[in-house]
């Protein structure tokens, strides 16, 4: 492995005079050193030459203004530039994507994938004395995902690793499961989840199948920084091997999901009463969800225009289940086919979107909070029966993130289930499961078991055998819940209304502000500091009754354990309203979570409209306030 490059100001002498004037100091330095690398490919050199000749300064700044940063979400960036050079296009037709990934230190391409793989490999070699180290690698349907996975596998093999590589695209949760099943040391998932088609990324998992959290991420980041952009895989014959994972590995994953079924009678009822339309949104869920449901005798109708593995996502307005547009075509097809349940998974199938039909209410798209509430209720309700029979000893736990609806807390408390809140991100839910495993190893009498884990962004989990949100499992579990509700004479919408009448009407809204320019990080930092210093008002302009600052204060969860620090603010207001503000860990976004609860009334639809009006008005005030704060 070659040593880390040292950026020297003299390298900028390779740049034309105009570049000295148009580019930031960071971009000039990084680009100058990039051009001085001894192993530039012809595509890299030709692309930079074209960008400079065309004076595409903004594009150059975007590509070379930074090097890829490894955070708790792994790395994620564009793999297709906002402008593609002739060398990158490689003769591709105008309507087709480029044949080669975007050149640049801040882009995801062969050079940055190799660097990340070498750094991660070095981290694992330092972390563990066990040899050989084994790693499972999977990838989704995104552009270049397969080739990046192959490159990562070859790089780790060159370090002497045993690499288990899926031969075709697979969902992220199946990677998590397979790491645990094979007792591997780590895993890599090549994906950018539900991001736009021009993005890609790499998620890192450790031996328990969960994403790395902040401490490990810092270690991996330092290891990557020690690797230079010119680094090549070690030469010579090493003992590493690559082993291919084929379709037969899906069987164990199916069985793990099926072990979460609570009532076979609910599945039988679903066969009779639930007609499913499913869209994989061109993603990896296509390989799992139809077969998973078919194994239970439930056959789904696929949306043809969205059921081919295609990283361009050509038939999709949005590949994010949080976006109602992602299910629009599936709902149209369901209406034509008289189906009553629409399911959709994002490209790496870790999130589930759903829409349901009620004869009196028509079609409704469920929010992530509503899906979580339905699954949490069903699992709490049915496991309570088994607990009463003594079949499930130990402490039942429901895990939710701090920005997920408190309806889950009300449900858990009603059934005597401990509700434990974590920071935002499913990795923290997985970390609690790892902690429970450690506690049980020390004291077998202290067994804490997962009833349900959920987050508002359409992620959920119901088994410890997978330590990542699982859209495939959620699809089967929502069908089971729908079957159980049908057996009680209700649709899922009717069941949701039942929850509102029992626990109160919970309304939530997520608003996101995005700044992709170079000043974005500083703007988010300044805005968060402003809200910390001068708290915002509530729905009626009233001041908060409680302010919680998770960035500077200590907070403990329901297990009595200290939460990690995070730049996250939460404000509670009189009248059961709450506002949470946080910066995304994987995207240039600031997120505002608005919550309001009121007692249910006879006319839930009218109450729903009033709550929507209240949250809309509140957000309008907050949005205006954001502009004022940034202008100061």
Show which residues are catalytic: 193
Q: Which helix (H) or strand (E) holds 204?
A: strand 199-206
Compute CA distances 484 → 261, 272, 337, 380, 502, whole Å.
Answer: 11, 11, 23, 13, 18
What's phi and psi for 236, nearest 5 deg?
100, 165
d(CA 103, CA 44) in angstroms, rounded, equals: 6
DSSP 134-196: EEEEEE-SSTTHHHHHHHHHHHHHHTT-EEEEESS---HHHHHHHHHHTT-SEEEEE--TTS-
Q: Which of 548, 380, 352, 555 has the alpha carbon at shortest distance from 455?
A: 352
**Positive or negative torsion for Cα 94, 320, 220, 190:** negative
C-alpha–C-alpha distance, residues 426 and 420, integer Å: 13
What tokens appear for 97 in the block?
Answer: 């994507």
Helix 249-258 vs helix 172-181: crossing angle, to nearest 10 = 100
Determine how many CB atoms are found less than 10 A away from the CB of residue 430. Answer: 27
Local structure of 594: helix, strand or coil: strand
User: Tokens 């490919």 identify what position?
Assistant: 41
CA–CA distances in Å: residue 626 to residues 520, 572, 608, 614? 14, 19, 27, 18
CB-based contact 429:377 (threshold 8 Å)? no
Starting from the edge strand earliest in sequence, which strands make up the sheet with 362-365, in order?
Answer: 300-302, 276-279, 341-345, 352-358, 362-365
- Least Cα distance to 402 among 375, 426, 366, 437 occurs for 426
Tokens of 492: 């899922």
Distances (CA, A) of 298 to 292, 307, 331, 352: 9, 18, 18, 18
Tell how strand 134-139 and strand 162-166 pair up: parallel
Instruction: Quote the CA–CA distance of 397 and 416 in Å, as a whole number.
Output: 9
Q: Are strands 505-514 and 589-598 parallel, antiparallel or unpaired?
A: antiparallel
314 phi/psi in degrees, rounded to 5: -65, -30
- Pull the structure tokens for residue 330: 């599936």
């Amino acid at each position: 492995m070659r040593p880390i490059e040292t950026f020297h100001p003299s390298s900028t002498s390779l740049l034309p005079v105009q570049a000295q004037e148009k580019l930031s100091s960071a971009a000039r330095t990084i680009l100058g050193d990039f051009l001085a690398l001894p192993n530039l490919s012809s595509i890299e050199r030709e692309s930079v030459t074209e960008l400079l000749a065309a004076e595409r300064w903004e594009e150059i700044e975007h590509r070379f203004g930074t090097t890829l940063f490894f955070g708790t979400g792994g790395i994620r960036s564009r793999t297709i530039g906002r402008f593609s050079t002739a060398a990158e296009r490689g003769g591709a037709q105008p309507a087709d994507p480029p044949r080669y990934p975007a050149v640049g230190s801040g882009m995801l391409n062969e050079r940055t994938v190799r660097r990340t793989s070498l750094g991660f490999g070095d981290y694992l070699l330092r972390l563990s004395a066990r040899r050989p180290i084994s790693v499972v690698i999977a990838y989704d349907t995104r552009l270049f995902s397969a080739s990046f996975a192959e490159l990562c596998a070859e790089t780790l093999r060159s370090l002497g690793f045993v690499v288990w590589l899926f031969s075709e695209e697979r969902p992220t949760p199946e990677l998590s499961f397979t790491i645990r099943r094979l007792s591997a040391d780590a895993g890599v998932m090549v994906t950018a989840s539900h991001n736009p088609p021009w993005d890609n990324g790499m998620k890192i998992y450790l031996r328990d199948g969960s994403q790395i959290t902040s401490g490990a991420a810092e270690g991996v980041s330092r290891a990557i920084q020690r690797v230079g952009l010119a680094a090549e895989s070690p030469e010579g014959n090493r003992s590493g091997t690559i082993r291919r994972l084929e379709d037969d590995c899906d069987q164990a994953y199916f069985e793990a999901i099926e072990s979460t079924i609570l009532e076979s009678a609910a599945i039988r009822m679903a066969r009779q009463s639930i007609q499913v339309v499913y869209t994989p949104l061109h993603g990896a869920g296509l390989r799992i969800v139809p077969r998973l449901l078919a194994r239970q005798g439930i056959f789904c109708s696929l949306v043809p225009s969205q059921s081919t593995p295609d990283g361009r996502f050509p038939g999709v307005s949005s590949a994010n289940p949080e976006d109602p547009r992602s299910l629009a075509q599936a709902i149209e097809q369901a209406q034509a086919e008289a189906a009553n349940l629409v399911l959709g998974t994002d490209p790496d199938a870790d999130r589930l979107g759903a829409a349901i039909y009620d004869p009196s209410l028509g079609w409704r798209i469920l929010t992530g909070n509503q899906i979580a509430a339905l699954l949490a209720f069903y699992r709490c309700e049915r496991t309570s029966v088994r607990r009463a029979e003594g079949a499930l000893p130990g402490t039942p736990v429901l895990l939710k993130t701090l920005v997920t609806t408190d309806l889950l807390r009300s449900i858990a408390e009603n059934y005597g289930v401990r509700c434990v809140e974590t920071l935002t991100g499913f990795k923290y839910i997985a970390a609690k499961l790892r902690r429970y495993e450690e506690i049980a190893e020390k004291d077998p009498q202290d067994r804490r078991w997962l009833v349900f884990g959920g987050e508002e962004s359409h992620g959920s989990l119901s088994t410890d055998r997978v330590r990542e949100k699982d859209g495939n499992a959620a699809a089967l579990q929502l069908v089971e819940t729908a079957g159980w509700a049908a057996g009680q004479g209700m649709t899922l919408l009717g069941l949701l209304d039942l929850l509102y009448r029992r626990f109160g009407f919970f309304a939530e809204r997520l608003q996101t502000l995005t700044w992709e320019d170079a000043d974005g990080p500083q703007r988010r930092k300044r805005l968060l500091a402003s809200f910390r210093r001068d708290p915002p008002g509530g729905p009626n302009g009233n001041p908060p009754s409680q302010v919680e600052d998770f960035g500077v204060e200590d907070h403990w969860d329901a297990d009595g354990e200290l939460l990690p620090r995070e730049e996250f603010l939460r404000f509670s207001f009189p009248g059961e309203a709450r506002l949470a503000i946080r910066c995304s860990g994987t995207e240039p976004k600031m997120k505002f979570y608005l919550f309001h609860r009121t007692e249910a009334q006879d006319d839930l639809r009218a109450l729903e409209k009033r709550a929507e009006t209240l949250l809309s008005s509140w957000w309008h005030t907050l949005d205006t306030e954001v502009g004022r704060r940034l202008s100061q």
